[in-house]
Amino acid sequence: MNYTYNYPIPALTVDIAVFKKTKEGYKILLIKRKSNPFMGMWALPGGFVDMDETIEVAATRELFEETSLSNILLEQFHVFSEVDRDPRGRTVSVVFVGFLEEPKEIKAGDDAEEACWFEIINLPELAFDHLKIIRMIEEMKLN
């Protein structure tokens, strides 16, 4: 079906925050972006929702494509819809949270140059509004 609307339509994305608990505290999985915007910066894994998939399928797909992680229970956390959160245009993101219960190998792929675990108390500079997202998860889920 093709629809035409007389008003702009925002893009829909998913971002995935995967945590693992260590003796020192929580670590979060981040990817280094391979392309603009924010090329070379660290970010949560994620991307655009395809027209033929649900947000849950998109989250699972994006996590696998960018980190090679699969079979992780992802829970919908919050919708981030600030008007200027993405320099490419109006973008709304549904954020999912998951916890890694057992060690799994991660491997960067797709538009991720690198994938790495970071202590949430010692994060690098992050792309988009991802620091805000992580801090909200930390406050609501990890305490």
Does position 2 have pLDDT exceeding 80, yes or no?
A: no
pTM for the whole thing? 0.95
What is the Cα–Cα distance from 48 to 102, expressed in whole angstroms?
Answer: 28
What is the average pLDDT score of the chain? 95
Is 56 annotated in the active site? Answer: no
Q: How confident is the model at residue 4 (pLDDT cuts 50, 70, 90)?
A: confident
Q: What is the pLDDT of residues 130-141, one digit of tens each?
A: 999 999 999 998
Average pLDDT for residues 42-70, to the nearest whole number?
Answer: 98
3-state secondary structure of 126: strand
* Residue of 82, 114, 119, 139 marked active site: 114
Average pLDDT for residues 75-84, to the nearest whole number?
Answer: 97
